[in-house]
Structure 1
Amino acid sequence: MKLKITYMYAILIALITFTGCKKETKPDTTIVTAVEAGNGGATGPITSPTDPGLAVSQGFFLDGWAGKTFAKPGTVNAEKPTAATTINVTADFAQVISKVSKNLFGNNANPFTGQYTDAGLVQNISNLSPNIIRAPGGSISDIYFYDLPAGSKPTDVPAQLLKADGTPDASTGYWSGKVTDSWSMTLDNYYALLQKSNSTGIITVNYGYARYGLSEHPVETAAHYAAQWVRKDNGRTKLWEVGNENFGNWEAGYRIDVSKNKDGQPEIITGQLYGTHFKVFADSMRKAAAEVGATIKIGAVVTETDDKNNSTGGKDWNAGVMAAAGASPDFYVVHNYYTPYNQNSTPEVILATPAAHTASMVSWVNQSAQAAGAPLKPLALDEWNIFSTGSRQQVSSICGVHAVLTLGELIKNQFSMACRWDLANGGSDGNDHGLFSYNQDGVANFTPRPAFYYLYYFQKYFGDRMISSSVTGSNDIISYASSFNSGEAGVTLINKSNADKVVNINFKNYYTGSNYIYYTLKGGTDNAPFSGKVLINNNGPAGAVGGPANYTSLAAYSSSTSGGIKVAVPAYGVVFLVADKK
C-alpha cells in the first residue's frame, strides 16, 4: 500500500509540473519508496535543506566558504548500549542554522613561548588546522615594535609607562619582533608558522604607541608605523586590528603622563578618543595596502559586555568608539573569557557559560551600534577561554568540554571568526591557558593538553553546515548537529552532568545508511573532575597529561543503524557522531 500511495503522489507532482504552475518558494520535496524503518532516519518524503541568508555578524568572514567532504576513519565494531532511556535528540537535516566558517577554529601565538620551530609542535598545530593564527598576542601588542632588534626601543617612548593608578611602572619593557633567543618568537618565525600550518594571520598593531608616544604627533607617528608593517607584510595578511583591549586599565596607553604628551590628549583613554584615532590608523593602513596591491580588513576594539559602569576601564566605551569611528571599521573585535574572574568554579558553572554569554555578546555589540547610529559589522572573537582557577580547570578535560560548547554556540549565534587564547602560555601550573604545555613541572614542552583533542575532533567530525537539533528528556545533554556537503549527517553530544547518560538520536529529512561511527571523549580519574587527561574511545596518554599520541589514526566506534542510533555519553563527556548517508 505504501508503494502504491507514493507512486500516485509522484504522478500528481508530475502533472502539476507539466501544467506549468509557478515554482513555489518553499523547499522541494524528494520522494523515495523503500526506506528501512527504525534506523534513526526518515521513512517517507523529505524536505531538502535551504541555506539561510548571510548574517551581518558573519559578513566577509564567510568569503571563500567551501563544502566539506567527510573522510571516514578506520572503524572497530561497538555494541550499542542496552539501557533504556528517555533522552532523545532530534536533528533536522532540512533546517540549516548556519554555514560553518573555517575561520572559527583559530588560535593565538604569543612571542614569549619559544620560536615555534619545534617539529612536533608544528605537526600538531598542522593537524589541528586552526586556519588562522593571531599575533603578536594580547597586551604585548601595545608595546610591540615589529622591526626592532632585541633590547631596543624607539627614541620617542618613555622609559617608564604609567600604572592604572598613575604611578610609574618600574617593570616597563618594550617588545621586539627580532628577538632571536629560544624563549621568544621572531616575526619571521610567525610568518613561517603560518606557512607550515597552512594558516593565515590576523595581526594586532600597536595602538598604545599613539597614546604614550613622545613625538609632536604621536597618533600620526603610530599610524604610520602600523602602515609600514602593512607594507612589509606585502599582502600576506588580510585581517588586521588596531590595539588590544584598549578600554582596560591594564593596557599600555590606558593612562598617560600628560606633562609629556605633546598633542593635548587626556590622561585617561575614552572610547571616543580611540574611535577618532582608529580612523587615522585605518586611513594610513589602507593607503599602504593599496600601494602594495593588497586588500585588507581592519577591526576596532569593543567590549563584549555592558560597559556603562566599567570599574576597570573606559565607561561607555562602545558608544564612544562607534560614534567616532562611524563606518570606518570593517569589523568589531571582542574578547570573552566566559567564567567569573579567578573564581574556583565548578564544572556546572563553567559549562553553563557558553550558551548564556555568547548570545548576550552578540546582542550587546549590536545594541551598542544601533544606539550609536553606527552600522552593524561582522564580529571577531579573537580571544576566548576560561578564567577559572584553583583546581587546575584551565588545563583540564572540562576546559575541553567548554571549548566544544563554545564552538557550538558561536556557530549557532552566527559567528564566523574566532581565535582561542592561546597555543602556549606559560608555567603557571594549572592556571595556564596554553593548548600546549610550556614550562610545566614534569611535563615536556608542547605536550598537547586535553582541550587540543576536543578541538581536533570537533573540526574533523563537524560538517560544513549546522542543522537544527533538539533534546527531550534531559537538561544535561546538549546537542549540535551538522551536515556535510558530501551527504553525511552528524551530531555532537555534550553531557554537562556528573552521571553517565544514554541517548537516542533521530534524523528528520535524512535517510540514514547502514552504520554510524563515533568517538567518545572523557576525562581520566586524576584530579577529578578536572582531569589533566582525556580518554578517546578509552585510549589515554602514555604520561600524566593530555591524550593518546596516535589520535590521528585511532579507529572510530561503529554500530549498525538497524534498530536505531543509540550511544552512551559519559559524565562530563563528549560524543562526536556521524551517520552514513543512504
Structure 2
Amino acid sequence: MKKIILITVSILLLQLSSCSKQDDNSSDPTPTPEDPVIKPQTDPLVSNTIGFFLDNWTSKSLTSPTNYTVAAVPEVTTSTVTVDYANVITKIPSSIYGNNANLWSGKMITNTTLVNDITNLKPNIIRFPGGSISDVYFWNALNAPSTAPSKLIKADGTEVESGYWFGKNDGDWTISLDNYYQLLQSTNSKGIITVNYGYARYGTGANPVEDAAKLAADWVTYDNGRTQYWEIGNEVFADWEASYRINTANNKDGQPELLNGKLYAEHFKIIAAAMRAAAAAVGNTNIKIGAVMVENTPASYVPDCYKTWNNKLLTNINGNADYYVIHNYYTNYNTNAPAAEILETPKKVTAEMMTFCKSELTATSNDIKPFALDEWNIFSTGSKQQVSHINGMHAVLILGEVLKNKIGLAARWDLANAWDNGNDHGTFSNGDEPNIPKGTPRPAFYHMYYFQKYMGDRLIEANKDANGNYEVYASSFSDGKVGLAFVNKATTSINIKVKLNNFLTGKRMFWYTIVGDTDNGEFSRKVIINGTGPSLVAGGPTNYASLKPFSAETTKGTNITLPARSSVFVVIEKK
C-alpha cells in the first residue's frame, strides 16, 4: 500500500511539473538534445582585401546525390575538428577559382573535351594574354607597329630580338584574342586582362606613354564591356620584364634607362585614365584596374627597382589603383623540394604575404584595397612535382588559405604550358607529354574540381585539435548543408571526428577521397578517386564528373578517414 501511495504522489508531481512548463510563456524554452538552440548565421562585413570581388556573389546549393556507394565511417578517431556553422568568416567570391590562359597553348576552343573539362572546373575567371608576354603583346595587330623597336634590351644591357606577340595571329599553335573571348563564353567565364605596359617604356614614338595608353584604351573599347578586371603590366618590378631597361637613345620623352616604382605609378595614372574614359564610352561603368605590387620582402640580390618598388609605387599612386596584383610560386626557385616541404608552404607563405602587403599599404598611408593573386603555383623541379598528386593537394591548400586570408581573386598559372620533363605548370597537358593526349587533365585539375564542387558559398569556422598533420576548410551552402575540404599532409592515415555546432545534422553524409598511386615515388602523376584511377600513365579517371560519392548515414556520427597524403571532400546534410 505504501508503494502505491508513493507511485501516485510521483505521478502527480510529474504532472504538476508538466503543467508548470506548459503554463510558462517564455519564448526561450529549455533545449533538449532533440531540440537544441541553433544560433543563426550572420554575414560579417566584407573585408577590404576582398571588396568588390564579392559584388557578383551568388548563393550556392547542392542537391544530395541519389546514386552513391554505401561506405562505413570509422568508429574510433584520434583527432577532432569542431565546426561552428554560425560563425561565418567570409562569403566566398567565385573569383578565387581562376586560371590563366597563355598564347602558346593553342586555340583550346577547338578541343571540345578540353572546353568541357574547363567548364566543369568552373574557373569563373581566366586571365590573358599571359605573364611576361603581356608586355610584348599587341592585341590589335598581326605585325609590330612602327614605334615598336626590332630589338629590346635585356637586364644585362645586351640586345635581344623583340619577340612580340599578336592578337590577330590565328595560327593553330597560338590563341588569338577572338579565340580567347570565345573560350570565355564557352566556359561561362569572365576575363582579367593584362595590358601591355612595356610599350610605354620601349616605344620609340614621340610620347610612348600616350601610345601605350591608346593601345590599352582601344582594347577596352573593343572589349565593349565584356571584362571588368584589368591590370597594367606583368611583374614590372622585375628585371626579366621588357619594361625594366630601355635603349635611351631610342626614347623621345626623357625616360631613365631603368624603371622604378615612381615612374610606373605616374605612367599607371595616365594609362588607367585613358582606359576608364574608354570604358565609360562603351557603358562599362564598373571597370577595375589593378597595379602590380611586390608580394614579399625582396631578397638582397635583386635590383634596386625591385627592392624599392612598393615604397615608390605606393607613395605616388595617389589612390588610382582599384586593386593590387600579386604573384606567388610558394616554393624555392628551381629546387628539388620533397613533398613535405611543398605541402607546408601554403599556410605559412599566404599568411606572411598578406601581412606584408597590408603593412606596405599602411606604412605608406594607403587604404587597404582588394588583392588579386592572379598567378600561383610551385617552383619545385626535378621530380615532376608540378604535374603530381602532391601539387594537386597543394592547390587545395592554396584555395583554402586564399579564403582564410580573404584574398578577392586567385588564378592558378596556368591552363596549359610545356612538358619540360614534368616541370610543367599546366593544369592540362599541352600535347608534348609522352603518351598523354593534348588536353588531358593533370592531378591538380581533379583536386580543384572537387574542392569547388563541395565548397559552399560561405567559409565558416573550423578548428582542429593538435593531433594529426592535416588541414581543414569548412563551408556552408545556402540550402543548409556543410561542405568540408581536408588535406592530410602526413604519410599515415588518420580518423577524424567532426563535431558540428549550431547545426542540426541530417540523415546522410557524402564524400570523395583522392589519393595518388605508386608511380614516381612520392610524386605520383596519377590520382585515384574513390577507388577509380586513370587508364593512361598519368592523370585521373575520365568519368570524374559522374563518379559516385561514398555515403553513410550519420547515425554513427560524421567521422571521416583521411588516407595518407590525400584530399577528402565531404558534404553533410542538414536535418
- SS of 2:435's equivalent in the other structure is coil
Matches within 5 A, 1:45-194: 45-73=37-65, 74-82=67-75, 84-117=76-109, 118-149=111-142, 152-169=143-160, 171-194=161-184
Identify the residue that residue 571 of structure 1 maps to in structure 2.
Answer: 564
Instruction: Quote the Cα distance in structure 2 between the aligned partners of 1:307 and 1:72.
Output: 48
Identify the residue that residue 387 of structure 2 maps to in structure 1.
Answer: 395
The verdict on how the C-alpha distance between 1:358 and 1:66 changes in structure 2, with shifts beyond 3 A counting, is same
Identify the residue that residue 216 of structure 1 maps to in structure 2.
Answer: 206
The verdict on how the C-alpha distance between 1:564 and 1:172 changes in structure 2, with shifts beyond 3 A counting, is same
Q: 1:301 aligns with which of 292, 299, 303?
A: 292
Identify the residue that residue 335 of structure 1 maps to in structure 2.
Answer: 327
CA contact (8 A) 1:491 1:576 kept: yes
Deviation at 1:426, TM superposition (A): 1.3
Instruction: Quote the Cα distance in structure 2 between the aligned partners of 1:71 and 1:114.
Output: 36
Deviation at 1:11, TM superposition (A): 4.7
Identify the residue that residue 543 of structure 2 maps to in structure 1.
Answer: 550
* 2:454 is the alignment partner of 1:464: no
Matches within 5 A, 1:436-447: 436-438=428-430, 439-447=432-440
Matches within 5 A, 1:156-555: 156-169=147-160, 171-295=161-285, 296-307=287-298, 309=300, 311-312=302-303, 313-438=305-430, 439-555=432-548
Corresponding residue pairs, total = 555
The verdict on how the C-alpha distance between 1:31 and 1:319 changes in structure 2, with shifts beyond 3 A counting, is farther
Unaligned runs of 5+ in 1: 15-28, 36-42
- SS of 1:527's equivalent in the other structure is coil
User: What's the TM-score, normalizing by structure 2?
Assistant: 0.94
AA aligned opposite 1:176: F
- SS of 2:315's equivalent in the other structure is helix
AA aligned opposite 2:147: D
Deviation at 1:34, TM superposition (A): 5.5
Deviation at 1:473, TM superposition (A): 4.3
Deviation at 1:197, TM superposition (A): 0.4
AA aligned opposite 1:140: I
The verdict on how the C-alpha distance between 1:13 and 1:133 changes in structure 2, with shifts beyond 3 A counting, is farther
Instruction: Quote the Cα distance in structure 2 between the aligned partners of 1:50 and 1:532.
Output: 42
CA deviation map 1:434-460 (0-9, x unaligned): 000011122111100000000000001
Deviation at 1:31, TM superposition (A): 7.7
CA contact (8 A) 1:107 1:133 kept: yes
- SS of 2:134's equivalent in the other structure is helix
Instruction: Quote the Cα distance in structure 2 between the aligned partners of 1:156 and 1:310.
Output: 34
AA aligned opposite 2:292: V
AA aligned opposite 2:554: T
Deviation at 1:10, TM superposition (A): 11
Deviates further, 288-297 or 241-250: 288-297
The verdict on how the C-alpha distance between 1:257 and 1:76 changes in structure 2, with shifts beyond 3 A counting, is same
AA aligned opposite 1:429: N
CA deviation map 1:103-160 (0-9, x unaligned): 11010000111101211110100111111101001001000001111xx211112211
- SS of 2:556's equivalent in the other structure is coil
CA deviation map 1:526-569 (0-9, x unaligned): 11210000110011011111111111111110011112112211
Deviation at 1:427, TM superposition (A): 2.5
Q: Percent identity?
A: 48
CA contact (8 A) 2:468 2:494 kept: no
CA contact (8 A) 1:100 1:411 kept: yes
Deviation at 1:260, TM superposition (A): 1.5
Deviation at 1:503, TM superposition (A): 1.2
The verdict on how the C-alpha distance between 1:181 and 1:512 changes in structure 2, with shifts beyond 3 A counting, is same
CA contact (8 A) 1:429 1:441 kept: no
CA contact (8 A) 2:515 2:528 kept: yes
CA contact (8 A) 2:78 2:494 kept: no
AA aligned opposite 1:265: Q
CA contact (8 A) 1:307 1:318 kept: no
AA aligned opposite 2:341: V
The verdict on how the C-alpha distance between 1:266 and 1:369 changes in structure 2, with shifts beyond 3 A counting, is same
Instruction: Quote the Cα distance in structure 2 between the aligned partners of 1:70 and 1:120.
Output: 25
User: What's the TM-score, normalizing by structure 1?
Assistant: 0.92
The verdict on how the C-alpha distance between 1:46 and 1:137 changes in structure 2, with shifts beyond 3 A counting, is same
Unaligned runs of 5+ in 2: 1-13
Instruction: Quote the Cα distance in structure 2 between the aligned partners of 1:195 and 1:538.
Output: 34
- SS of 1:148's equivalent in the other structure is coil
The verdict on how the C-alpha distance between 1:402 and 1:155 changes in structure 2, with shifts beyond 3 A counting, is same
CA contact (8 A) 2:79 2:468 kept: no
AA aligned opposite 2:170: T
CA deviation map 1:33-67 (0-9, x unaligned): 553xxxxxxx7322112111111001100002111
AA aligned opposite 1:103: S
Deviation at 1:251, TM superposition (A): 0.5
CA contact (8 A) 1:31 1:46 kept: no
- SS of 2:312's equivalent in the other structure is helix
CA contact (8 A) 2:77 2:559 kept: no
Give the structure with higher Rg (CA).
2
Instruction: Quote the Cα distance in structure 2 between the aligned partners of 1:294 and 1:392.
Output: 43
The verdict on how the C-alpha distance between 1:523 and 1:308 changes in structure 2, with shifts beyond 3 A counting, is closer
CA contact (8 A) 1:110 1:137 kept: yes
- SS of 1:381's equivalent in the other structure is strand
AA aligned opposite 2:321: P
Identify the residue that residue 18 of structure 1 maps to in structure 2.
Answer: none
Deviation at 1:475, TM superposition (A): 4.1
Identify the residue that residue 4 of structure 2 maps to in structure 1.
Answer: none
Instruction: Quote the Cα distance in structure 1 between the aligned partners of 2:79 and 2:254.
Output: 64
AA aligned opposite 2:425: H
